[in-house]
Amino acid sequence: MLKVAITGPESTGKSTLSVQLARHYQTVWVPEYARSYVGNLDKPYTLADIKAIARGQLALEQEAQQGAKKLLFADTDMLVLKIWSEHAFGQCPAWIQEKLAQQEYNLYLLMGVDLPWEPDPQREHPHLRQFFYDWYKRELEALGVPFVEVQGQQQDRFNVARQHVDALLQQHDPLS
């Protein structure tokens, strides 16, 4: 199974693109576990909550793999949790860093910050989008994983992502 992580700062269309790609390739996508987890908290989140979110995200992905057909799209990954944790608490639990190092995505789609910010009670940093984008890019480069930057409006993003996913499929199954 080929796995594609859609990553990047808040309000960059990760969920929208995940749904579009899963529909197009007739497979499943893994939603962002943090949305429901934080949505159900009645207090500010803590470092312990980020650990719980990481475990929940991994469990969701494991579950989604059962229904995936050739491709799996993940709306978030351990990199999101690492950056979130380091920014919010100045540290990232070693367990999350270990899981990040063990991730096996065939492609990362790094979402650009050129879409308009959409307010949401769970989003925190509209003024730091470029800062976070640059951070994600540095981290992906340091990990040495295959990634592409995805810019433009929604249809442009979908087209660029689809071209790269098609190339990935071709690379792994030249007869398809």
What dotted CATH number matches 2-172? 3.40.50.300
What is the largest distance, in Å, between two alpha-carbon atoms of the chain?
A: 53
Q: What are phi and psi of 71, to 5 degrees?
A: -130, 145
Residue 175: what pLDDT?
60
3-state secondary structure of 6: strand
Residue 94: what pLDDT?
96
For residue 61, give every residue at least 6 positions away whose Cβ sits within 8 Å of its Cβ, in sequence order, or none: 30, 72, 74
| Cα-based torsion angle of the residue sequence 6, 8, 10, 14 in order, rounded to the nearest 10 degrees | -20
Structure tokens belonging to residue 22:
């899963």
Residue 131: what pLDDT?
97
Give me the amino acid identity at 46.
Answer: T
For residue 86, give every residue at least 6 positions away whose Cβ sits within 8 Å of its Cβ, in sequence order, or none: 92
* Domain boundaries along the sequence of the chain: 2-172
DSSP code per residue over 62-108: HHHHTT-BSEEEES--HHHHHHHHHHHHS---HHHHHHHHH---SEE
Residue 93: what pLDDT?
96
Please give the average per-residue pLDDT across 142-163, as a whole number.
96
Distance (Å) of CA 5 to CA 26, 48, 90, 106: 17, 24, 24, 8
14-55: per-residue pLDDT in tens? 999 999 999 999 999 999 999 889 888 889 899 999 999 999
Give the rounded distance of the alpha carbon of 51 from its chain centre. Answer: 16
Structure tokens belonging to residue 94:
């070693």
